[in-house]
Amino acid sequence: MPVLQALIGVAVVGWVLNDVFTTVILPRPAPARYRPAGLLTRWTWRIWRRYADASRSPELREQRLGIFAPAIVMILLGVWIVLLIVGFGLVMHALSAEGRPPLPA
């Protein structure tokens, strides 16, 4: 079981780091089918666009749409951080179960 935990943790960390590299550093568009950034942006954009389209005035609609990009960047940073914590946590938990005796109290 610890080996499976470690492998899943390494896979999550690799998935997130690849997504960060592809989203932030890569200077060209990349397919976002199974990347956290692509999935999250696609889902939230549909909801956000409906919210903005419900506006009565065009100025309010444009203001609401203009908030989306900065908001999704902050949300993505949070999602990446949480996923990295979970991935490294799985790896550390798997390594701690490798037979080290508990610390004395």
Q: What is the pLDDT of residue 98?
A: 64
Q: How many other CB atoms are found less than 10 A from the CB of residue 37?
A: 21
* Residue that the structure tokens 């999250």 belong to: 40
Stretch 24-45: mean pLDDT, rounded?
A: 86
pTM, whole model, 2 decimals? 0.81
CA dist., res. 90 & res. 3, Å (int) = 10
- Burial pattern 84-95, b for ≥16 Cβ within 10 A else e, equals eeebeebbeebe
* Residues 40/41/45/46 CA torsion (nearest 10 deg): -50
Q: What is the pLDDT of residue 4?
A: 94
pLDDT-derived band at 28 (thresholds 50, 70, 90) equals confident
Greater model confidence, 62 or 33: 62
Residues listed for the chain: 105
pLDDT-derived band at 26 (thresholds 50, 70, 90) equals confident
Q: What is the pLDDT of residue 10?
A: 97
Q: What is the pLDDT of residue 38?
A: 87
* Residue that the structure tokens 């996923």 belong to: 83
CA dist., res. 88 & res. 81, Å (int) = 11
pLDDT in tens, 39-94: 898 899 999 999 999 988 999 999 999 999 999 999 999 999 999 999 999 999 98
Beta strands in the chain (DSSP E): none
